[in-house]
Amino acid sequence: MEPLILAHPTMTATFRKGAILALILAVTVVAAMDASFEGNLAYQSPFLNLPELAVQPAEHHKRHVLAKRDTPDVDVKFIHGAASGDPLADRVILWTKVTPSTTKFPVKVNYEVSADRTFAADSIVKSGSVLTTDDVDWTVKVDVDGLKPQTTYFYRFFAGNAISRVGRTKTLPTPDTPVDMVRVAAISCSSMPHGYFHAHARIAEREDIDLVLELGDYIYEHPESKPIKSGKLGGERAPQPSYQTFTLSDYRTRHSQYKRDKDTQALHLAHPMASIADDHETIDNASRDGAPKHDPKTQGDWKVRMAASTRAYFEYMPIRNEVDKQQYRMYRTFRFGNMADIIFADSRYDGRDLQAVGDINKRKIMSDKQEAWFHNELVSSKAKYRVIANQVMFAPIPHKILGYEIEITSDAWVGYPYNRNRLLNLMATKKLNDSLILTGDLHSSIASNIYSDSLPYNKESGEGALMTEFVGPSVTSESSVFDNKVLSDMAGPVLKLVNKGAQWTDFYRHGYMVLQLTNEFARTEYWYVQDIKKLDGGREILGVVLESKRGSNRITKKYSP
C-alpha cells in the first residue's frame, strides 16, 4: 500500500531548485532581526520530513525585512482570539491571528507567558517575537518551551498598539508523576449554520478541565445551499465562502470564520486543546485516495486539495507538526503522568481505503505503519488507563441491508473488519485492561461495552467486555434522526439489535462529554445544551453518568438525573 504523498498547491520545480537559496535568505533574515519568520511555526511544513510543504514569505516581505531591519507599526486587531494546544510536560503551542490595516509589510507579533494574570515583570516566564504575513494568512504559532510540568500559565499577544485577550493553558505532568485525577472534555462536529456553539461556551466556564479533546469536524466544507432539515441559521453563521471549500484560500476563509465565533474563542482561551481532523475539514467521507463527492473536473487533483486543507488546518489549529516522511500523520500520544495515556489514532486519512469499495475483508482503516505504532503504544503503556481518541465509531452499527453495504455506516470500524479484529485480538491476548475509546463523527451519543464475537460476552452483566467506547454528541451538526426525539427513541432499540453492548443512546441532543479518571473508576458524563437554534438556548443539563470500575472493562454503573 503506497503512502499518501502530499503536494502543496504552490509547490513547483522552481521552488525545489531554489530551496537552498531560500534557506540562505531565511537565515540572513533571521540574523538581521529580533523577530523572525523562522520562529513562527505557521511557515513550517505540517510534516518536518517534507520541507517542500513549508511556506516561504513572499519576496517583497523578505526584501522589506532585509532593507528596513524592522517592521513599521501598523494598525492591528486581534479579532480571531488566541489559543493553546498540544501541551507536553515542558511546552505548549500558542496560536493567534492578526488583522492588519495594510498587507504591504510583515507584522511583528510579541507574546508573553506569565505565571499569573497580572503579567507583572516578575511573573513573566517566557516572551518572544515573531513575524507573520499574508503568506500564512496572518496566523502566528509558537512552541513555547522551558515550562514547568503540571502548571497553569497565562499568555497574551500584542502587536502595534493592540493586545489580545488573555488565555489560560496548562502543561502535562511528566510521564512518571503520580496523578490522582485527570479530567478532559471531548467535543466534535461543530457546524456554524446548524446552530450556536453553546457546548463550547459551557466548557469554557468550567474550571475542572485539564485538556479539551477535539475529535474532528472542527469546520465543515459544505456550501450555503446544503439543506438542513432541523433548520438553518444564516447571517454571520452562513458559510464563508458560500460554496464548497476546495482551495487553500477557501479553507483559510472557512477556518477564519469559525475562529471569529465568540463561544469558540472562549473555549480556546480557557483550556488547551488536542485535536485531530476528520473528513469535513476536507470533504465528506474523505480518505487517503479521495472522497465520493470530490469532483476532479471542477475541483482539481485530490492530492492538491488534501494539501490545501492540511495546510489551512495546520495554520489555524494549535497543533505541533510531526515527523513522518510521506505520511499524513496526526496520530500521537499525550501522557498524563501515571494516570492516563491519551492516544490519538487516525482512522480517517493515514492509509485508509475508500469505504464500501472492494473486498471488505482486505480493506484497511489505517496504514500498517500506524497500526504498528498504535498497537505498540497500547501494549507499552505503563499508565493506569489507555484512552483511545479517534474519529469514527468502533462498536457495531448496522452497515448492511440484504447483504449489501450501507456506504454511510461502512465509514465506521465495522466497514474495516481487518483492523478492527486485530485490535480486539490485541486487547484480549495482551489483557489490556482499563482501555476505553472516545469517538466523534456520528452526531449521536452511544455508550457501549466493546466485545469480540469470538469470545464469551454476557449481554446482561457486561462480563467478557474488552473495553468501553463513548461516542459523543455533536456540538451542532444534525443527527441521523434530524434532531428528533421520537425518532431517537425508535433508533435506540434498532441499534441494540446489532450492538448487544450498547448501554446508553441518545440520537437527538447536542453537547459534549467529560471523562474523569481516578484510581477507582473511569466516569463519563454526557452534557447537553437546551437549544442550539436559539442564541439564549445555552442552558445545560446532565444527561447521564456512566462509570467503569477499574479492572472491569465494562460499564458498571449508570445514573440518569
Summarised one tens digit per residue, pLDDT across range 124-176 is 999 999 999 999 999 999 999 999 999 999 999 999 999 999 999 999 999 99
- The pTM of this model reads 0.93
553 pLDDT above the threshold of 70: yes
pLDDT in the model for residue 47 = 80
11 pLDDT above the threshold of 90: no
Find residue 415's DSSP bridge partners: none
- In the chain, pLDDT over 70 holds for what percent of residues? 92
pLDDT in the model for residue 324 = 61
Mean pLDDT on 287-308: 94
Contacts of 473 by beta carbon, 8 Å cutoff, 6+ apart: 443, 444, 445, 506, 509, 510, 511, 512, 513, 526, 528
pLDDT in tens, 68-122: 655 666 799 999 999 999 999 999 999 999 999 988 889 999 999 999 999 999 9
pLDDT in the model for residue 53 = 82
Examine residue 3 and say whether the peptide bond preceding it is cis (omega within 30 degrees of 0): no
Q: How confident is the model at residue 467 (pLDDT cuts 50, 70, 90)?
A: very high
pLDDT in the model for residue 414 = 96
Q: How confident is the model at residue 422 (pLDDT cuts 50, 70, 90)?
A: very high
Cα diameter, the chain: 75
pLDDT in the model for residue 50 = 76
Domains (range + CATH), the chain? 1-171 (2.60.40.380), 181-559 (3.60.21.70)
Q: Which helix (H) or strand (E) holds 471?
A: strand 467-471
526 pLDDT above the threshold of 80: yes
Which of 374, 354, 352, 353 lies closest to 422 in space, CA to CA? Answer: 374
Single-letter amino acid code for the residue at 277? A
pLDDT in the model for residue 49 = 72
pLDDT in the model for residue 48 = 74
pLDDT in the model for residue 13 = 38
pLDDT in the model for residue 22 = 42
pLDDT in tens, 45-79: 988 777 878 999 998 888 887 776 556 667 999 99
pLDDT in the model for residue 51 = 81
Contacts of 170 by beta carbon, 8 Å cutoff, 6+ apart: 87, 150, 151, 152, 153, 210, 211, 271, 272
Mean pLDDT on 248-266: 98
pLDDT in the model for residue 64 = 80
Question: Which position has the higher pLDDT, 16 or 388?
Answer: 388
1 near 368, Cβ under 8 Å? yes
Q: How confident is the model at residue 313 (pLDDT cuts 50, 70, 90)?
A: very high
Taking all residues of the chain, what is their mean pLDDT, rounded to a whole number? 91
Number of H helices, E strands in the chain: 11, 26
64 near 340, Cβ under 8 Å? no
Mean pLDDT on 509-521: 98
pLDDT in the model for residue 72 = 63
Ranking 49-63, 188-202, 516-530 by mean pLDDT, the lowest is 49-63
7 pLDDT above the threshold of 50: no
263 pLDDT above the threshold of 90: yes
Mean pLDDT on 333-359: 95
Q: What is the chain's alpha carbon radius of gyration, rounded to the nearest angstrom?
A: 23
What secondary structure does DSSP assign to 142-165, as a single string? EEE-SPPTT-EEEEEEEETTEEPP
pLDDT in the model for residue 202 = 98
pLDDT in the model for residue 73 = 67
Measured distance CA(449)–CA(435) in Å, rounded? 11
pLDDT in the model for residue 165 = 98
Query: In this structure, are strands 385-390 and 400-401 parallel, antiparallel, or unpaired?
Result: unpaired
- In the chain, pLDDT over 90 holds for what percent of residues? 82
